[in-house]
Every structure is written in structure tokens, then in C-alpha cells.
Chain A
Amino acid sequence: MELLKDQEVLERVERLELGFNSYGIDQFGVSKEHLVHFFSMLKWFYRHYFRVTVQGMGEVPSSGRAMLVGNHSGGLPVDGGMLLTALLLDHEPPLLAHGMVEKFANRWPFLSTWFSRVGQFTGLPEHATALLRADRVLMVFPEGARGTGKLYDQRYELVDFGTGFMRMALQTQTPIIPLAFVGGEEAIPVKLHLDGLARLVGAPYIPVTSYGLPIPLPVACSITFGAPMRFEGDGQEADAVIEEYVQAVKDEIVRLIDLGRKARRRRLGRLAPLGAMSEDDVPGEGAAP
């Protein structure tokens, strides 16, 4: 396992302030050792495979609770993994964000243990609240499995947002940092789902890409953060009020996706023709002047 210990990652993990005990375990069971292995692997994908670029990292607060809210994409959680890596490697100081994982994962041996040790917990409101109250950073994709289950033809169209995240943000007085993840949709162009097999193994869906395997392609990805959004209230507001707030976040994410896609076209225009997978990647197409 020594091979999987990147020096930079090791140093960044050492700088995390999560109240680790003398064996490197925090109160939620997050383990330094597991983090180092996990992010050493992700770092290669982040830097060399998806060549992730980040705009607006300064919008993410350097301490205190925060909720990162973004669009969900692509049959595998490429967006989640890259966002986590960006916050650890490219945020000052390094941050560990906590994702809310689909329930099925906790039933699977090894996957269950790994997710728990790297701070990615089952998506339960109790977990979200406990993490925010401990002043952690939460990563939320309000589209949930409906979002990762989108097909390629629906790319970058936001499906319904849940509203739970907004009530929780209000209850815990947590700022929402909107973000757009661009590239995930092209990385795994999902053509159809194997519903029968998914039911059999207890997964929400099993994606099939145009080339068969649900393996992500080396498509350049980008993350665009927006300014923190704070809403008035205590989380006991009527549904209509909450939906209005949620719509504001959704509109901001749509705007950020648009920004991200334009920037990406410009970048690919210069770098052409890397991974020309879709019309998005055609050099010069729709490039802003």
C-alpha cells in the first residue's frame, strides 16, 4: 500500500483539523490512513485523467460549516470524487467535505467500510445535521440518484431538487455555496440503464454507455463555485417559501453551469482536440468572443 501514499496528499491530510485521536481517527470514524490512500488515488484522476480546473475556490469558506450544493451528473459519482479532491488539494487550508451516499452502498462489504473511513456517510438527515453541527463541510447533490441516473440526452438539465437540504441549512444557519460541475456528463455518456440487474444487486441503477462499459472517459472537467448564499429563516417555513429559496439556488447553479461550459469550450478551443466526445468538445463551437 506504500505505493498509494502520495507525499503531497499526506501533507494535506496532516493539515486537516478534524480532532483526530492519537490513532488518526476522528469522532465520525474518519481515518487519516484511509484518507491518504483514497486521495492518492483520486489525485491522479484529478490532475491527469480529468484535468480538473477550478474557478472561484475563494468562495468556499476556510473554516466553519458550509454546504456545497451542485448539479449531479454521470453514471458514476465522478463529480463527487473530483470535488472532494479539489477541496483537499487546492483549497487553503485543505478541507475534507462529507458526501451523502446512497443507502445501498452501506450494505456492500468493503465499500461500506471505505466510504465510512473517508467521511462519506449514508445520506440520512441525522448525519447531515450532526456533521454541520460539528462545523464540517457538507457536499450535497439535491438531484440525488435521479441526477446521476440522467441519460446523456438529458445532460446539464437539472432534474427536481429535493428541499431537505434547504431546511437543514436554515436550521443550522449554514451558508450554501452553489457550484457547477462540468464534464461529468461527457465522461460517462449513459445511453441506457439495466434496471433488472440493478434490482438484483440492490443498486439504484446500472449505467450502460455508448461503448458498453460504465468507465469514465478522460474528459476535461471543471468546477465553478458561486458566492455563498444565505437565506432568512429557521427551517420551519412553509413549503412555498422553501421552494422559492431552492429555486434561487437552482437558478444560480444553472448560471454557473453555463459559465463553466463556456469557459470549457474556450479552453478546449486552445487545447484541441482532446477527447472530442461531443458537440461540447468540438473546438471553437459556441466559443464566447
Chain B
Amino acid sequence: MKVLITGISGVMGRSVARLLVERGHEIVGLDRRPWPDAPRAIRVFHADTRKRPAEDVFRQHRPEAVIHMATVTHWGASREERYRINLGGTRAVFDHCHSYGVRQAIFVGRHTVYGAAPDTPLYRTEEDPPMAVSTFPDLADLVAADLYAGSALWRFPEVTTAVLRIVYTLGPSRSGTLMRFLKGPKVAMVLGFDPLFQFMHEEDAARAIALALEARLRGVFNVAGPGPVPLSLLCRVTGRKAVPLPDLLFPHLLGPLGLPRMPPGAVSHVKYPIVVSAEPFREATGFAPTFDEVQTMESFRWAGD
């Protein structure tokens, strides 16, 4: 089928696009960033999802399905920029889906919307409320985008919409939220805390998105691969040195110690686990990860060496 991917030039966008081409789909891409060596079969249009040229791609190419991945998660972007892209962009994409007869839409979201706190349970289900608005207020734009995308289920019932809450990804690309956190030789931990981290191989994540498309998934689904591991083990297996910092000083010591900076709210996500249950997704799509947790960690560790 003809599939439009927004945010196609990102690492995840590229691998989903390549995979779908392999599986016989026709791919059109939309991104502000270039993808210079894109395969010939993939047409990439340079436009901002909220601008007129983006709407014209919908109008001219009439995709049957849209995979919306054009969201910003890194802290390099300003607050205004994040809200503009993550909420304004999501609105525009779903409005266009409705206006131009798109039959299926997939919003690629994150499991971090559930938030982490001392009294949050392991294995969150899709019914659980997104606590990140209070545990990590800087993620409010992503929580809002996730819920807003979900509202398409009742606003535009003719568009088969799936909201995927995917766990962290790891792999040779060395990009993404968790890999930014693990980038350097030293990784910040909170003294006395060692939460479980749940992640999947980036190729498995791309395959999960492809399966969601082909299964014509409707609803909100957690997407996960192998079992979670403690952060200390994640550091050990990926060859990082864990640096335990006292809770109260955590946000203030990151910069001076040369560790990746994070907003103050991030500390709760380094103290407590966010682990999701992905049973409904597995049942609906038949997805099973091809990389276990150890292979996934090692693929990240040894990439490019």
C-alpha cells in the first residue's frame, strides 16, 4: 500500500521506510531534514508538517496510510519548538488524514508517558494514566501529543488509528533517548537507586511498526521486546561506568561532571522504572523480538568499533 512517513529522515524513520519497501509497500516521506542517500524507490519531500507544502503532499499523493514519527524528543529544542512540532504537527497530520481520505494512521509514541514514581507499578497497561505529566513535567508535550493522537479514534472514526507506546530503543545507530543518556563512557545514576530499564533493538522496533501497519491496528498499544534489566547491568554490558550521584545534587552535577544534561524532572526516570506490558500488541500482530536483551545491549556497545 502507499504509505506516507513523516519524520522519515530520522534513524527510525529511515529503517521503517527501508523495511516497508522490502515488504512491497510504496513509500513517500516528509521531513524538514534531508535524507541524501535515500533509496530511489522512496520519494522524500522537504517540508514542515504544519506548513502548506506538507498538505500538498497529502493532496497530490493520496497515501492510504500515514506513519507519524515527526516528533522532537531531545532537549536541544526549545519548549516552544517542542510544542509547535509535537502538538501542532500532530494536529496537522491527523487533520490531513481526515481531509484527504487516509484510511489508516499510526502515531509512534513512547512508553515514557507512563512516568516513573515510587508508587507506580511495574508492567503498565494501556489503561494506566500517563503519570509523566507530574513525574517529569518536561514531557508534558509528548504526553499531550500521545493523548491527542488517541483522540483521533473518536474524532475521525473512519481513520483506523493506532497509538504505539514503544519502549526505549538500542542498536548500532546510537541515536534516540536512551542512547543519548548512555552516549559517553560514564553514565549518571542516582545513589541507592537502580531502576529497571526496558528497551528493544531498533530493528525490532521498526519491524513492530511495520507489523502494526499490516495488521491494520486500531487503538492504543504498548510495544516492548525482551525483559527489562537494572540500569547498573545496562551500564556494565554496554561497557559504561556508572557514576552514582546523590539524589538532591543529581541535576546540578551532570554538567560539571561532563555527563549529558537533563531537565530536573528527569531524575525520577533515573530513580524508578518504567516497565510496560505489551501482551495486547503481541496478540494482535504476532510480534516477537528477534534480539534478546543481551544481544540488544551488545549491538549498541560494539557498533562501529
Which A residues are within 8 Å of any B CB, using their own CB? Answer: 21-23, 25-29, 31, 103, 106-113, 116-117, 121-122, 124, 126-127, 130
Contact = CB atoms under 8 A, between A and B. Distances in A.
A130 B118 contact: no
A28 B121 CA distance: 11
A1 to B, nearest CB: 15
Interface string B140-178: 000000000000000000000000000000000000000
B106 interface: no
A234 to B, nearest CB: 19
A110 B190 CA distance: 10
Interface in B84-143: 118-119, 121-124
30 contacts: A21-B293, A23-B237, A25-B230, A25-B233, A26-B227, A27-B228, A28-B122, A29-B196, A29-B228, A29-B230, A31-B230, A106-B118, A106-B272, A108-B192, A109-B191, A109-B247, A112-B271, A113-B193, A113-B194, A117-B194, A121-B122, A122-B119, A122-B121, A126-B121, A126-B122, A126-B123, A126-B124, A127-B121, A127-B122, A130-B123
Contacts of B273: 29
Interface residues of B, number: 26
Nearest to B124: A126
Nearest to B125: A126
B230 A117 contact: yes
A109 B192 contact: yes
A124 B121 contact: yes
B19 interface: no
A130 B122 contact: yes
Q: Classify the secondary structure of A's interface with B.
A: mixed
A106 B171 CA distance: 31
Contacts of A26: 227
Q: Choose among B122, B228, B230 the residue with the greatest number of A CB atoms under 10 Å from its CB.
A: B122
A171 B277 CA distance: 19
A133 to B, nearest CB: 9
A212 to B, nearest CB: 28
Given A109-B193, A113-B193, A23 B123 contact: no
Interface of B: 118-119, 121-124, 190-194, 196, 227-230, 233, 237, 247, 271-273, 277, 292-294
A216 B141 CA distance: 51
A21 B293 CA distance: 9
A29 B193 CA distance: 13
Given A25-B229, A29-B228, A126-B123, 7 more contacts: A21-B292, A29-B196, A29-B230, A108-B192, A109-B247, A113-B192, A122-B121
Contacts of A106: 118-119, 272
A22 B292 CA distance: 10
Given A109-B190, A109-B247, A23 B121 contact: no
Q: Choose among A22, A110, A116 the residue with the greatest number of B CB atoms under 10 Å from its CB.
A: A116
Contacts of A116: 194, 196
Contacts of A113: 192-194
A12 to B, nearest CB: 22
Nearest to A106: B118
Given A23-B294, A27-B227, A113-B192, A107 B118 contact: yes
A23 B119 contact: no
A21 B118 contact: no
B294 A124 contact: no
A31 to B, nearest CB: 7
Nearest to B293: A21
Contact of B119 (A27, A109, A124): A124
Contacts of B192: 108-113
A117 B193 CA distance: 11
Contacts of A127: 121-122
A31 B271 CA distance: 18
Given A113-B193, A124-B119, A130-B121, A21 B294 contact: yes
B233 to A, nearest CB: 6
A22 B233 contact: no
Nearest to A122: B119
A83 to B, nearest CB: 22
Contacts of A126: 121-124
Contacts of B230: 25, 29, 31, 117
Contacts of A130: 121-123, 277
Contacts of B292: 21
Contacts of A117: 194, 230
Given A21-B293, A29-B228, A103 B122 contact: no
A29 B195 CA distance: 9
A25 B127 CA distance: 27
